[in-house]
Structure 1
Amino acid sequence: MSAEATVTLTRRQGYQFEIDFGLDTPHLFSDEPPPLGASQGPTPNHLLLAAVANCLSASLTFALSKFKQDPGTLKAVARATIGRNEANRLRIQGISVDIQLESPGQTYEHLDRILGQFEQFCTVSMSVQQGIPVAVRVTDGAGQTLKG
């Protein structure tokens, strides 16, 4: 089974981009912090962290629900370690996600099995962990391919 997800970004000013998810949802604005941007929205780093944490939280919710367990309120906190690579470029070097369940662990049936498998259901975190090949194409205003 193959599926496709698409988002459209449009630069508005400086480093601020309007993000259209192609859904019946409000657009999101991203931005970089000063000195580049004006911090008028989440950075790309924040968006990646949100995607990883959201996917893991949804996967845990799914795994709990499979065993007819009420996930209740989940809280996830994602953190990125950012450092420089050999070329002195900033890179995300690691992501940690802490997910907090609402109830004490002993109130959930089959919790060992649930915790042993829920990460496998997360498309985003499993993809990020493996590394994602990225094909880049750059075109000009007339549609001429400049790169890729």
Structure 2
Amino acid sequence: MNSTATVTLTRRSGYQFEIDFGLGTPALLSDEPPPLGQSQGPTPNHLLLAAVANCLSASLTFALSKFKQDPGTLRATARATVGRNEANRLRIQRIEVDIELERPGAAYEHLERILSQFEEFCTVSMSVRQGIPIDVRVRDADGQALKG
């Protein structure tokens, strides 16, 4: 089954763009930091990180729910390493995503199986990963590393 997703960007001024998701939701303003823009909204790098972290969080929520586990509050933090390529152009070289669960790992049933497969359901990260390495780590409420 193929589907499409569409967003429409309209330049407002400088490097500010209004992003219309076409879903009847409020538009989002993106911008670049100085000296190009005025930092009036997230940059494209931030939007990419948000998309990757959001998709991974949703996939983990789905996987936990599939095994009748209450996902509770999940917190994801995504970081990009930006550097110059061989042509001296800035590129995102790596993305790291840390996901924190609300409870200790022992409170979840089937957690090993869930953590071994949830990334495969994430359309965005699996697509981005074809060009940018993505490291995913999951920690529980006690800070114990459960994955990565």
Report the equivalent of 2:4.
4
Structure 1 partner of 2:44: 44
Give the corresponding residue for 1:91. Answer: 91
TM normalised by structure 1 equals 0.88
Where in structure 2 are the equivalents of 1:1-148 lying within 5 Å?
Answer: 1-131=1-131
Instruction: Give the Cα–Cα distance (whole angstroms) in 2 for the partners of residues 34 and 131 of structure 1.
Output: 28
**In the TM superposition, what whole-angstrom CA distance separates every residue of 1:4-32 from its partner, at most 9, and x where no partner exists?**
00000000000000000001110000000
In the superposition, the TM-score normalised over structure 2's length comes to 0.88
Distance 2:26 2:100 in 1: 28
Q: Which runs of 5+ in 2 are unaligned?
A: 133-148
Other structure's SS at 2:93 match: strand
Alignment partner of 1:61: what SS? helix
Q: Distance in 1 between matches of 2:129 and 2:38?
A: 31
Shift of 1:130: 1.1
Higher relative contact order (CA 8 A, sep 6+): 2
Q: What is the aligned residue count?
A: 132
- The percentage of counterpart residues that share the same residue type is 84
Q: Helix, strand or coil for the counterpart of 1:118?
A: helix
**Structure 1 unaligned regions, length at least 5:** 133-148
| Distance in structure 1 (CA, Å) of the matches to 2:73 and 2:62 | 13
Structure of greater Rg: 1
Code of the aligned partner of 1:59: S
Question: Once superposed, what is the RMSD of the aligned Cα atoms?
Answer: 0.9
- Structure 1 stretches of 4+ with a deviation exceeding 2 A read none
Deviations 1:90-113 (A, max 9, x none): 000000000000000000000000
Q: Secondary structure at the match of 1:55?
A: helix
Q: Please report how far the alpha carbon of residue 121 of structure 1 lies from its aligned counterpart in structure 2 after TM superposition.
A: 0.4
